[in-house]
Structure 1
Amino acid sequence: MSKIQYTIRNIPPVVDQVIRKRSQQTGKSFNQTVVDLLSLQTFGTETPPKEQGFDFLFGANTLDAGFDEAIKDLSRVDGELWQ
């Protein structure tokens, strides 16, 4: 899994203080603390999922039961328009 680097600007001082305090409390680097906090807010855990897709966020079957019926007409080809 490749890693991506970010540069984040305009961090409020109070946010910086909280991150630095948490970093000291946990004994982790500042960077690791930020990564853990981002993962925690995104996934609800400090350890991000290993999956590559987004199904882990929404589940595989979260669409409304009537969804396919509701969009059926969108898949219909109008023969008069395509002559």
Structure 2
Amino acid sequence: MKSITIHGMDDELDQLIRKKAAEEQKSLNKTIKGLLEEALGVRPSKDHREEFSDLFGTWSTADRQQFEQATEDLRRVDPEDWK
């Protein structure tokens, strides 16, 4: 394994990396490696949709089934409508 030293990192970037590492309960090394992997496309970035669920809401399986049943007729095409 190779080691890399980063010189001249500004305080703001240092604090952001440290904050991210603390939030994810990971070491600085693992956090930086993960950020590099995402940025370089080695590992796909995380799906952040769940972070917005409180703003948009989510449907349970029962909710989805109820919606599907209520809108079932809307998926039927009557050929007479197209004459």
**TM-score if structure 1 supplies the norm length?**
0.49
Q: Per residue, is there more helix in 1 or in 2?
A: 2
**TM-score if structure 2 supplies the norm length?**
0.49
Larger Rg: 2
